Structure 1
């Protein structure tokens, strides 16, 4: 069964919509919709926007793709010259100076780690890299135990005076995959707004950012049925917000009836199984993605408690029995 939820929009968007209907703000001149798809950061990128002229639309979409490639070049763990690779290579031996952007991301990661009690932890990479989802490889207990000794967000030492990062133990490493795509769609949205785009949708895999509405109606974002690739569990009508979905169906393999997926509990090094998917709506993509990962690892009760600490965030959870659960903010709508 597909569920249609009421419109989710921030207060500022509601005020602007009322002003347009009252004739206090001008309506946009006639134009058209433009879109493009690409593959960056190992995921599908989609952009759809409204512009008065095709040249303006193409320039805006080019700006989005440039931002996606910039994030990939900076934070890919697979590129040896990326800033992330430099951190992982050197921070176990000495403090590594980083860019202002990277330092801010690391500080946000540590804040989410504290909020979640360690359920969100970018140092999980020490165990995450032991899995190969294409080849169906999972670590044995001894290998996993050794890697888990290198996991722990408190071992990521940030120094604001030198804007640097150091690891407490050599062999530690980090992965920003827990919210890099959310950060990317935030950057893309900022570029679009700077170019005067008022209606747009940008997605990077399960992370999306919507600007304005879809010219008189909300953007509609589907929550996939985690056990049917073409099924939709719920539809979210959205304006001016970000949405992130984390699911156990994105990258996984099964062995002896156990599903090993890419969402890892830093405390165990294994895949949590209490829920199948989590969708979070928030003001920005970085927050939405970090919270969707957090809630997935913590499970329904503890995850909703963590979510409640972030003003304006809401969630849709599909548990292991296929039941839908909504945060109080969505229930109130």
Structure 2
């Protein structure tokens, strides 16, 4: 081979290697997965093939990390540890879990107990798949255990319960928290456009490359229908409804959203959707407003800056908070 031909071959080889080293063309990366007892989904735009794929897995792993910490069904979780031991004395938990309990306490105070993670003291007596509900006598016995004031937060990330039998469940806030953490992970990695959703909680990072994301509000009684579609950018949105886990007996709908004051399912609304900037908060607020009902729920959301709500009552009528009527 002559020197000229060798140099030409070398140039072509270097060019080929450079092309092969380039990341795959920028694109959307998507992954549906099961987590925390529900269907989840992540969609993100990345200009690097390896980064895009790695971040999909990182989001899935983040959900599982939080599930391992906050699941009421895993004996090894910190939540299960509290439910077993906190009535016997101080239990030390992680700062992350402690801070989420602080947020739950703040929302309980803000809503006068309409949001109350100790609802589980009654909630564990329901089994929606088996159509089991507590008897009137069981409700009477368990109801005094439902009071957020029984959950006592002490310095140094320590927690105790003031009464035996108290149990907690973060079903009204944990998925929203996980969604928010996942979006934070993507933002820290430099992602500018993404969507993460789990159950009824969705968080949007940026826009959808030049246009808003379109987020639908599901029809509470028609599985394949929607009642509204909202164009959103860099927002959080959560929906709580009476159609997620329920059974009907003697014409009464028993669903998983419980009024902490009665231990029973509220019946005035079919769904509540809350929009704002943080999915942890929209998750908890959608549950809270559902419990409060239309009148008191609307009064509360109007006091919270930067958050709005859409209510659907049992007559299929939609009501919007003032920020959505502008």
Is the TM value for this pair above 0.5? Answer: yes
Which one has the largest radius of gyration? 2
Offset of residue 166 of structure 1: 0.7
- Larger RCO, structures 1/2 (Cα 8 Å, 6+ apart): 1
Structure 2 CA distance, aligned partners of 1:215 and 1:107? 36
Offset of residue 322 of structure 1: 0.3
SS at match of 1:59: helix
Provide, for residues 134-185 of structure 1, a one-character-per-residue CA deviation record: whole Å limited to 9, x for no partner: 01111110011111111101111111x2321111101101001110000000
Structure 1 CA distance, aligned partners of 2:45 and 2:304? 31
Offset of residue 53 of structure 1: 2.1
RMSD: 1.1
Query: Normalised by the size of structure 1, how large is the TM-score?
Result: 0.90
Match of 2:294 among 294, 300, 308: 300
Offset of residue 84 of structure 1: 0.5
Partner of 1:250: 244
Partner of 2:274: 280
Offset of residue 97 of structure 1: 1.0
2:210 is equivalent to residue 216 of structure 1: yes
State the number of aligned residues. Answer: 303
Structure 1 CA distance, aligned partners of 2:270 and 2:30? 31
Offset of residue 316 of structure 1: 0.7
Match of 2:98 among 103, 112, 121: 103
Structure 2 CA distance, aligned partners of 1:69 and 1:240? 24
Partner of 2:22: none
Structure 1 CA distance, aligned partners of 2:272 and 2:115? 14
Partner of 2:142: 147
Structure 1 CA distance, aligned partners of 2:236 and 2:319? 19
SS at match of 1:269: coil
Offset of residue 109 of structure 1: 0.4
SS at match of 1:325: strand
Structure 2 CA distance, aligned partners of 1:187 and 1:36? 17
SS at match of 1:92: coil
2:258 is equivalent to residue 264 of structure 1: yes
Partner of 1:124: 119
Q: After the TM superposition, which residues 46-195 of structure 1 pair with which residues of structure 2 at under 5 Å, given as runs? A: 46-159=41-154, 161-195=155-189
Offset of residue 310 of structure 1: 1.9
Offset of residue 266 of structure 1: 0.4
The answer for unaligned runs of 5 or more in structure 2 is 1-24
Structure 2 CA distance, aligned partners of 1:299 and 1:54? 47
Moved runs in structure 1, 4+ residues, more than 6 A?
none
Structure 2 CA distance, aligned partners of 1:192 and 1:314? 25
Structure 1 CA distance, aligned partners of 2:168 and 2:300? 23
Structure 1 CA distance, aligned partners of 2:133 and 2:240? 20
Provide, for residues 5-39 of structure 1, a one-character-per-residue CA deviation record: whole Å limited to 9, x for no partner: xxxxxxxxxxxxxxxxxxxxxxxxx7211101010
Provide, for residues 216-244 of structure 1, a one-character-per-residue CA deviation record: whole Å limited to 9, x for no partner: 11111100110101110000111111110
Offset of residue 309 of structure 1: 2.5
